[in-house]
């Protein structure tokens, strides 16, 4: 049997749905107080560090700790970060030793002595991720669905790898308080690293009508492109979830190239859950945050709430009010103008030569 099949079988055994469901049954949720205010919605955003787990139960506990905290704060929605499955790679025998070795090898102190490029070994990684994608996707969807139902909360799963016939995608699902998967969004703009891994990009932006508003869930790099948010607005979206896992050292201005300016120009609420920490020599940083147009934030800085540090575990919770959003869309100086003549042939005039 080829190595890929062996790894897939191993993960299928370790992430057995029956075992997951059995463990989920034992969880007794404390639902907390859910705000019934028609105008305000409480939302929670996860920032967490990667923790390789040896057993699926550890991962369930990890996810449950965030969801239960969000529920206690009265949240109607909790969102998890990009690559929210990295912890599960710890199930592979020997991975912790390899991880420790690579993290040391690529630590800031050692990096200058290293001659390896980060894309080396891509063929191996591609095959590996292809093998583990299905079992991990199944496990995450069962876990998140089960916990969403228990806590009666909308859950954005964070992203994981989605294996389809034509290849691998980076995507995440939005799940209803009844535990139903309402839909999946694939990442639309890839990093060079992801391209190197053979990950494919999605070709459609979905918008989900939740009872807390219309939501889109693009991923990380998608916020580097105004087009993503312009499309979301064209589809009537009020809230954009943007999970990140930035493989670079934190810099405020780099961070400002992402969701913050998109929220300012498109007048939506933005939720940015973030994954951080080290995995196999890769360093992830980033602050989770909840963003809004300048005018409706207390300090006029576009930030409703943001993590204090770019590493570590935080739960960011904030109250958002769609009526405030609709009001500033009406009143703000630099939003909402339409130039039909300019826009009529915009697509062909702008992208024709690319």
Partner 1 sequence: MKAASVVFKERDFYNLSRGQSLIAKTREWLDYCLVEEAEVVVFPGLVGCLYDCSARFLDDILKVSLLYKDIYICPGSYFEEQNSCKYHSSCIVKNGSIYLQQKQIYLAKWEKEQGLSRGVEVKSILVNGMKTALMVSTDLFYPQVSRQIALDDVDLVLAPAAIRGGKNVRLQLSGLWQNVQQNLFFGVESGLKGNLFNHDFYSYSAIHGPLEMTARENGLLAFERKTDKNQIITAMLDNEQRKEAVKKFNTLAQLNIDLYKDIFR
Q: Which residues bind partner 1 (CB under 8 A)?
A: 188-190, 201, 203-205, 221, 224-227, 230-231, 234, 251, 253-254, 256-257, 260-261, 264-265, 294, 300-302, 331-335, 337, 339, 341-343, 346-347, 349-351, 353-354
* d(C-alpha 104, C-alpha 121), whole Å: 18
* d(C-alpha 223, C-alpha 266), whole Å: 11
| Closest distance of CB 311 from partner 1, Å | 19
| Closest distance of CB 125 from partner 1, Å | 20
297 burial type by CB count under 10 A (0-12 exposed, 13-18 middle, 19+ buried): middle
Q: Give which of 234, 240, 289 is closest to 263, Cα–Cα.
A: 240
Nearer to partner 1, 119 or 350 (CB): 350
Nearer to partner 1, 18 or 299 (CB): 299
Nearer to partner 1, 25 or 249 (CB): 249
| Closest distance of CB 120 from partner 1, Å | 19
Please say whether the beta carbons of 11 and 132 come within 8 A.
yes
| Closest distance of CB 190 from partner 1, Å | 6
| Closest distance of CB 188 from partner 1, Å | 5
Nearer to partner 1, 66 or 269 (CB): 269
Nearer to partner 1, 32 or 198 (CB): 198
Please say whether the beta carbons of 46 and 312 come within 8 A.
no
With H, G, I as helix, E, B as strand and everything else as coil, classify residue 243. coil
Nearer to partner 1, 101 or 226 (CB): 226
| Closest distance of CB 161 from partner 1, Å | 19
Strand blocks (E) in the chain:
40-49, 77-79, 154-164, 167-175, 181-186, 199-200, 208-210, 213-216, 239-241, 269-272, 274-279, 282-284, 289-291, 303-306, 314-321
| Closest distance of CB 104 from partner 1, Å | 26
Nearer to partner 1, 2 or 347 (CB): 347
Token pair listed for 349: 């005039």
**185: CB partners within 8 A, 6+ apart:** 171, 172, 173, 174, 202, 205, 206, 216, 217, 218, 219
Sheet of 289-291: strand order equals 208-210, 213-216, 239-241, 269-272, 289-291, 303-306
């Amino acid at each position: 049997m080829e190595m890929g099949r062996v790894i897939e079988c191993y993960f299928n055994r370790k992430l057995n749905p029956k075992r997951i469901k059995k463990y989920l049954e034992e969880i007794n949720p404390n639902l907390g107080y859910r705000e019934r205010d028609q105008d305000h919605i409480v939302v929670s955003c996860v920032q967490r560090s990667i923790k390789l787990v040896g057993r699926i139960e550890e991962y369930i506990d990890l996810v449950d700790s965030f969801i239960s905290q969000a529920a206690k704060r009265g949240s109607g929605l909790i969102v998890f970060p990009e690559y929210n499955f990295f912890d599960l790679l710890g199930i592979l025998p020997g991975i912790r030793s390899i991880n420790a070795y690579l993290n040391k090898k690529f630590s800031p102190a050692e990096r200058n002595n290293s001659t390896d490029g980060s894309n080396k070994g891509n063929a191996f990684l591609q095959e590996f991720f292809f093998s583990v994608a299905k079992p991990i996707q199944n496990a995450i969807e069962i876990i998140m669905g089960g916990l969403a139902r228990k806590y009666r909360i909308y859950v954005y799963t964070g992203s994981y790898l989605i294996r389809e016939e034509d290849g691998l995608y980076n995507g995440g699902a939005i799940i209803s308080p009844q535990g139903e998967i309402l839909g999946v969004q694939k990442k639309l703009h890839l990093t060079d690293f992801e391209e190197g891994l053979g990950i494919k990009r999605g070709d459609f932006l979905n918008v989900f009508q939740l009872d807390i508003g219309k939501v889109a869930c693009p991923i990380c790099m998608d916020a580097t492109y105004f087009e993503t948010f312009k499309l979301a607005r064209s589809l009537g979206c009020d809230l954009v979830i943007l999970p990140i896992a930035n493989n670079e050292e934190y810099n405020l201005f780099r961070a400002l190239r992402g969701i913050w300016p998109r929220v300012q120009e498109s007048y939506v609420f933005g939720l940015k859950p973030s994954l951080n920490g080290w995995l196999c020599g890769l360093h992830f940083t980033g602050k989770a945050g909840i963003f809004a147009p300048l005018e409706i934030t207390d300090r006029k800085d576009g930030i409703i709430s943001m993590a204090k540090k770019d590493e570590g575990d935080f739960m960011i919770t904030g109250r958002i009010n769609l009526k405030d959003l609709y009001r500033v869309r009406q009143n703000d100086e630099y939003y909402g103008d339409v130039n039909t003549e300019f826009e009529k042939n915009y697509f062909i005039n702008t992208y024709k030569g690319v």
